[in-house]
């Protein structure tokens, strides 16, 4: 058997979305599992909508996910691999050669139908309650008829001559044997009036010339497959093996879209997801192991991936499960790496370089609670910025009877106490016992005075990290605010 070669071939008309990211991942996993090659090819035949910005965003998204490719573009200009170029619009001479071959062998023909002609065909098909398709009226034009159309200034497209009888059988690695009646297919366009190739044509030429052995793609491409298989046969080539992945639906059962939340890979990065968490979650969108394993290490995901685990039915995208999984990965991430990943969010919040305890210590305090990297700044900023009291902290806790007096007395007790977590807990609990106070009467005002909040990291560990000077100054500042309010 030939070495496994898979490919992801995005159209650069926008950002890389969840569906495309999953397709990329599955092709990458399959190639890595079988010791093969993963190829990235840019299918930029949509001359109107393809942009360099989209190309850059797609490359950035795939790199961020950690899915390295063996051949393909290294950027907009540089390409690496024996089959370059990997941008279809740089391969036009390659396509023209095969277009001429098909036309010379009577397997393709020029079609001069206008948009109005095609629209009339569509309307007639609707009235007759049959699938709309090209009716083949230009299949057997005489040279004189072609000349007349040329004289009118009509620029033809080139159509592939599909067989009109029999069936095309696709042996799909996920869906099994799928049969298509040739009589229900249409002569599809392989060259546009502009001279550029169409998707259905160019991908066949490229997949063959790039030695692609497995085409793993979304099920929206299944309907294109009989046309492509017939094109392979017309050129005397053996088709690759096909595997069509299930559709991804939103939590409400409708097609995944923007209204279900972020759908672009880069948006998930901006929201604070870890690439390895998103990669793990994407793997489970339509694939599972016999034991329904949920969390995978990088090498484990490669070793366990197999197309036999892919389902035919649609997969449901669950943002709650994704957030849970991201939290699981954050908890497992070594602190130095977590800080590296969180640095853009900390910098955007203005926390980089501020006076105070080290970010390593403050971020570590609540690592068990984070679900998103973007949550970290709000949970640690009170260490570095002036205290901003929440209404609950001020009105319900600090203004409770006796809270001010308790805080001032406690400040005196802490003046000479060792400022370690264990020593602070022992001293403050003893303070409560000596005065006959419930721990909540002391712990809650103390937290509120030091942080402006009623919730946060473990109290005594937080006090140790904050340090004696800051803790005492904040306790006394809170008491002063309460005194001023009383006097007013």
Residues with catalytic function:
258
Length of the chain: 488
Tokens describing residue 149? 């159309």
Residue 172, φ and ψ in degrees, nearest 5 = -90, 135
Q: Work out the angle at residue 412's Cα, subtended by the Cα atoms of residues 410 and 415, and round it to the nearest 5 degrees.
A: 110
Q: What distance lies between CA 387 and its chain's CA centroid?
A: 37
Going by C-alpha positions, the residue among 33, 31, 34 that lies closest to residue 72 is 31
Burial classification of residue 46, based on how many CB atoms lie within 10 Å of its CB (0-12 exposed, 13-18 middle, 19 or more buried): middle
Cα dihedral 29→34→36→39 (10° resolution): -20
Measured between alpha carbons, how far is 159 from 161 in angstroms, rounded to an integer? 6
Measured between alpha carbons, how far is 475 from 408 in angstroms, rounded to an integer? 7
Task: Residue 412: count other Cβ atoms within 10 Å of its Cβ.
Answer: 11
Rg (CA), the chain: 32
With a CB cutoff of 8 Å and minimum separation 6, the contacts of 249 are 255, 256, 314, 315, 316, 317
With a CB cutoff of 8 Å and minimum separation 6, the contacts of 290 are 309
Measured between alpha carbons, how far is 348 from 355 in angstroms, rounded to an integer? 16
Q: Work out the angle at residue 286's Cα, subtended by the Cα atoms of residues 280 and 288, and round it to the nearest 5 degrees.
A: 65
Residue 317, CA distances (Å) to 238, 269, 273, 370 in order: 36, 17, 15, 21
Residue 75, φ and ψ in degrees, nearest 5 = 175, -165
Going by C-alpha positions, the residue among 93, 85, 35, 26 that lies closest to residue 55 is 85
Residue 69, φ and ψ in degrees, nearest 5 = -110, 150
Q: Are 473 and 449 in contact (CB under 8 A)?
A: no
For residue 26, the surrounding DSSP H or E stretch is helix 18-33
């Amino acid at each position: 058997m030939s070495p496994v070669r898979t490919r992801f071939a995005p159209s650069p008309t926008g950002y890389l979305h969840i569906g495309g990211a999953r397709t990329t991942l599955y092709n990458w996993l399959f190639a890595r599992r079988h010791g093969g090659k993963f190829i990235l090819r840019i299918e930029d035949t949509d001359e109107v909508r393809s942009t360099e910005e989209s190309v850059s965003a797609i490359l950035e998204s795939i790199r961020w996910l950690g899915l390295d490719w063996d051949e393909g573009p290294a950027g907009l200009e540089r390409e690496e691999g024996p089959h370059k170029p990997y941008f279809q619009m740089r391969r036009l001479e390659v396509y023209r050669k095969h277009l001429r071959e098909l036309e010379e062998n009577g397997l393709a023909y020029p079609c001069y139908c206008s948009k109005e002609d095609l629209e009339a065909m569509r309307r007639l098909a609707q009235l007759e309650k049959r699938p709309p398709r090209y009716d083949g009226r230009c299949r057997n034009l005489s040279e004189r008829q072609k000349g007349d159309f040329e004289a009118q200034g009509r620029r033809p497209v080139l159509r592939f001559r599909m067989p009109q009888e029999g069936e095309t059988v696709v042996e799909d690695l996920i869906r099994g044997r799928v049969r298509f009646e040739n009589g229900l297919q249409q002569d599809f366009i392989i060259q546009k009036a502009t001279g550029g190739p169409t998707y259905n044509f160019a991908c066949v030429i490229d997949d063959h010339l790039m030695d692609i052995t497995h085409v793993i793609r979304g099920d929206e491409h299944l309907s294109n497959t009989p046309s492509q298989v017939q094109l392979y046969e017309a050129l005397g080539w053996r088709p690759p093996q096909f595997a069509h992945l299930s559709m991804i639906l939103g939590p409400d059962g409708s097609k995944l879209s923007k209204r279900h939340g972020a759908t672009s890979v880069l948006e998930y990065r901006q929201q604070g997801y870890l690439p390895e968490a998103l990669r793990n979650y994407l793997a489970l969108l339509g694939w599972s192991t016999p034991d329904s394993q949920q969390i995978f290490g990088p090498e484990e995901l490669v070793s366990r991936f197999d197309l036999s685990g892919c389902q035919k039915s649609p997969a449901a995208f669950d943002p709650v499960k994704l957030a849970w999984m991201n939290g699981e990965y954050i908890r497992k991430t070594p602190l130095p790496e977590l800080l590296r990943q969180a640095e853009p969010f900390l910098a955007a919040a203005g926390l980089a370089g501020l006076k105070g305890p080290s970010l390593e210590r403050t971020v570590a305090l609540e690592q068990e609670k984070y679900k998103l990297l973007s949550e970290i700044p709000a949970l640690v900023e009170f260490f570095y910025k002036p205290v901003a009291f929440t209404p609950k902290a001020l009105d319900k806790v600090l203004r409770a009877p006796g809270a001010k007096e308790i805080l001032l007395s406690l400040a005196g007790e802490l003046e000479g106490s060792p400022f370690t977590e264990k020593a602070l807990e022992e001293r403050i609990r003893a303070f409560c016992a000596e005065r006959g106070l419930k721990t909540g009467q002391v712990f809650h005002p103390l937290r509120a005075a030091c942080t402006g909040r009623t919730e946060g990291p473990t109290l005594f560990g937080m006090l140790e990290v904050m340090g004696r000077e800051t803790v005492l100054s904040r306790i006394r500042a809170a008491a002063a605010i309460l005194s001023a309010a009383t006097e007013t």
